[in-house]
Amino acid sequence: MPPVPGAAPLVALVGNPNAGKSALFNVLTGARQKVGNYPGVTVERHSGKLALPDGRIVDLVDLPGAYSLEPSSPDERVTRDFVTGTQVGERLPDALVVVVDASNLDNHLRFTLQLIALGLPVVVALNMFDLAERDGLTLDPARLSTELGVPVVATVAVRRRGLDELKAKLGTIIDEGAAIRLRPSNGTIGEDIVTLQRRARKIAAAATVSEAPVRRWTHALDSVALHPIFGLMLLFAILFVMFQAVFYAGADPADAIAAGFDWLSAQVKGAMPDSVLRSLITDGIIAGVGAVVKFLPQILIMFFFILVLEASGYMVRAAFLMDRVMASVGLSGRAFIPLLSSFACAVPGIMSTRTIEDEKDRLTTILVAPLMTCSARLPVYTLVIGALIPNTKVLPFVGLQGLVMLGLYIMGVVGAFVVALVLRRTVTKGASSGFMMEMPKYQLPRARDLALGLWSRAEIFLKRAGTTIAFTTIVLWALLSFPKPPDGSPVSAVNYSVAGRIANGIEPAFRPIGFNRDIVLALIPAMAAREVAVAALGTVYAIDTTGDKDEAKMAQTLHARWSLPTALAFLMWFVFAPQCISTIAVTRRETNGWKWPAFMVGYLFALAYIAAGAVYWAAIGLGL
Amino acid sequence: MDMSNPVKTASSLPLLSLESLPQRQCATVSAIDWAHLSTPEARRLRELGFDEGVGVEVLHRASLGNGPIACRIGRMTVALRRAVAGAVLVSPVTR
């Protein structure tokens, strides 16, 4: 697009990964930022407003970190297309702020040289200048500026150092650049990467006054964090704390949110006469959205840890430690934390796969994430195991119920690994770009960056997934509420509804795996979220759950009505079945279309059906 | 890499691969066997600063089986899998 006359100048913040670009973006734009998506790709577009010293407002866009203008990931492609003016829906930027890590000039200057060669006005932010000094590196920004032929400003984003000078220089280059036209460029660069690299090293050497051995702090920490024994112990200790926090600190806020939605529902019930509209609002929207939103505290706690691990530089170390294990099923070490997060909830797990560079690795990780036993399965497992598995001791201190629970967790992990292995050889086949990445310096995460990160995750979950979730819960409500049975009908409302009829229709298909019609009916509302199955079974068996949730009574009812093979088949179903619209909605968002969520839902239902059937018939065969 | 026929330098010193370089032994990159790398691997390796003449040192090896290695290249720490490290030929520097 041509520049729009009178519009605010467009400036792109661009640089290598780990150059401190996002921290600089956050201090330059403050809270005035917008997160969107580039069309057609799952790359986030971060933009914000920046005021120059002369009062002019500039649109600042934080581009994804890249190593060069030859893209090897969708992120890098967006960066390349943006700075060459070929990104769909974007105009050519008026200037670039190239962010380089002052202690890693050799490497970062190569990309800088490529960017300067594009011909746009450029100012270089020599970022993390303080860390370079701490590392014993003395640099000469003026000399660097002479060598590169563009202004260079030493900055420390996290301490707000050098920002005024950077903004002033930015204003100057925008004015100077107003007359300059971009050289025709389609992203190919005149010089090859090796030549550029050598030039970059020469320039870095010229700008370096003195140099001490590299990064003593990081090396000292790494000798523990990457240690064959202590490193693994540290990793598991961190994960232990993370899961304790998710399950214990997340429980009370989740209950409070559930209570809040109950209260809201009661208020509406008190204020409105009984009608279809009231039922839609309370039983449909409030109950449905509430069932999903109550996972928000756990999701945010999980994301807090993920963001801290990422910002501190530890995440790459965890990936390093676990790469061998993940590689055995065709994934990269980067998949470890997303999959582990999925034990709490697949939603943050899938959202955090963005750190996986390789597209096929990432897709495979997304597709298997729902197999990890998330917290929403626990109420279902607890109810059914409590009701039908005898509370006997297999060994001293080893109860059968606990063993079954453990078995269900293991089934999920084994299932995920087998599926990953199969997918990697079939639908997501292709050369993996492997595991090759920079290990950034350790840094203290900043509260402000964490808060902005958490806010954007919460917003994504509530707004984007929320629209799909709200829509689906209304559809589910309608299926369960209409048509109404005539007055005096012996058939209950649920059984008379469309959902009841669907259950009648598909029940024969589920008979071979031991499911009765009641179960099939309960599975329909449980598409919203797995733990809804507990309440749905209550509705189906007409157990009053309006007062105290009488779980003991539920357990008795199940015990009386279900056989053990049926109960086991039901548990197996919940190990695999994609009974969670939030996961499906987030997968749609993260894969940018319905193709992959449809595939995921299909293969998971197929697996659930086969596994439930196999267990049902095995149990019958064993005479259970 | 065919170990029975190690690559020789002009001074006839055998080159080590980065994979077999002892931990904490400083070395310089002598050659990179591009033919053993996929195109994305080769490009990423270049982008991370691997080039002839650059100083390199193995810092850590992951414990579980044949895990990846972490090495210093220039002023940067990079993690890479052993298969890739095997394609980087280095000559040890005596201090």
Residue A214 has pLDDT above 80, yes or no: no
Does some domain include residue B67?
yes
pTM, 2 dp? 0.81
> How distant is the Cα of B18 from the closest Cα of chain A, in angstroms?
14
Q: Which A residues, 108 through 167, put their C-beta within 8 Å of a C-beta on chain B?
A: 110
Q: If you average pLDDT over residues A391-401, what whole number do you get?
A: 81
Contact check, Cβ <8 Å, B79/A228: no
Contact assessment for residue A474 and residue A186, using Cβ atoms and an 8 Å cutoff: no
- Domain spanning A10-214: CATH superfamily: P-loop containing nucleotide triphosphate hydrolases (3.40.50.300)
Residues of B with CB under 8 A from a CB of A: 38, 40-41, 43-49, 51, 54, 59-68, 70, 72, 74-81, 83-84
Contact check, Cβ <8 Å, B67/A321: yes
**Residue ranges, CATH 3.40.50.300, chain A:** 10-214
How many domains is chain B built from? 1
The residue of A436, A439, A441 whose CB has the most chain B CBs within 10 angstroms, and thus the best one to mutate to test that interface, is A436
Note the Cα A257 to chain centre separation in Å: 22
Confidence band, pLDDT 50/70/90 cuts, at residue B64: low
Contact check, Cβ <8 Å, B44/A67: yes
CA A405 vs CA A148, A265, A391, B11: distances in Å: 62, 34, 12, 65
Sign of the alpha-carbon dihedral angle for A179, A184, A190, A193: positive
Contact check, Cβ <8 Å, B77/A103: no
Return the bridge partners of A393, or none: A399
The DSSP result for B12-62, as a single string, is: -PBPEEGGGSPTT--EEEEEE-GGGS-HHHHHHHHHTT--TT-EEEEEEE-
Does some domain include residue B4?
no
Residue A461 has pLDDT above 80, yes or no: no
Nearest to A323 among B47, B62, B76 (CB): B62
Does some domain include residue B55?
yes
Contact check, Cβ <8 Å, B78/A107: no
The residue of B36, B45, B47 whose CB has the most chain A CBs within 10 angstroms, and thus the best one to mutate to test that interface, is B47
**What number of C-beta contacts closer than 8 Å exist between A and B?**
121
Residue B89 has pLDDT above 90, yes or no: yes
Containing A466, the helix (H) or strand (E) segment is helix A466-481
Contact check, Cβ <8 Å, B44/A321: no
Confidence band, pLDDT 50/70/90 cuts, at residue A543: low
Q: What is the pLDDT of residue A551?
A: 66
Q: What is the pLDDT of residue A392?
A: 84
Q: If you average pLDDT over residues B35-50, what whole number do you get?
A: 86
CA pair distance A199, A190, nearest whole angstrom: 13
Does some domain include residue B9?
no
In chain B, residues with a C-beta closer than 8 Å to the C-beta of A319 are 79
pLDDT, one tens digit per residue, over B44-55 is 888 888 888 888
pLDDT, one tens digit per residue, over A475-520 is 888 888 888 888 877 777 777 888 888 988 999 999 999 999 889 9
Across chain A, mean pLDDT equals: 85
Host domain of residue B40: 16-92
Q: What is the pLDDT of residue A157?
A: 85
> Tell me, what CATH number does B73's domain have?
2.30.30.90
Looking up tokens 């661009």 gives A14
The residue of A133, A199, A320, A334 whose CB has the most chain B CBs within 10 angstroms, and thus the best one to mutate to test that interface, is A320
Return the bridge partners of A340, or none: none
Q: What is the pLDDT of residue A168?
A: 93
Contact assessment for residue A531 and residue A380, using Cβ atoms and an 8 Å cutoff: yes
Contact check, Cβ <8 Å, B46/A70: no
- Cβ-defined contacts of A83-88 (< 8 Å, 24+): A83/A12, A83/A14, A83/A115, A83/A118, A83/A120, A84/A118, A84/A185, A84/A186, A84/A187, A85/A1, A85/A182, A86/A186, A86/A187, A87/A38, A88/A38, A88/A39, A88/A40
A194 compared with A349, residue with greater pLDDT: A349
Residue A33 has pLDDT above 90, yes or no: no
Q: Does A32 touch chain B (CB under 8 A)?
A: no
Nearest to A324 among B62, B76, B78 (CB): B62
> How distant is the Cα of A418 from the closest Cα of chain B, in angstroms?
20
Contact check, Cβ <8 Å, A434/B41: yes
Residue of B nearest to A325 (CA): B64
Sheet order of strands, B76-80 included:
A436-439, B76-80, B69-73, B55-61, B27-32, B88-92, B16-17
In chain A, residues with a C-beta closer than 8 Å to the C-beta of B32 are none
Q: Does A351 touch chain B (CB under 8 A)?
A: no
Q: If you average pLDDT over residues A325-343, what whole number do you get?
A: 87
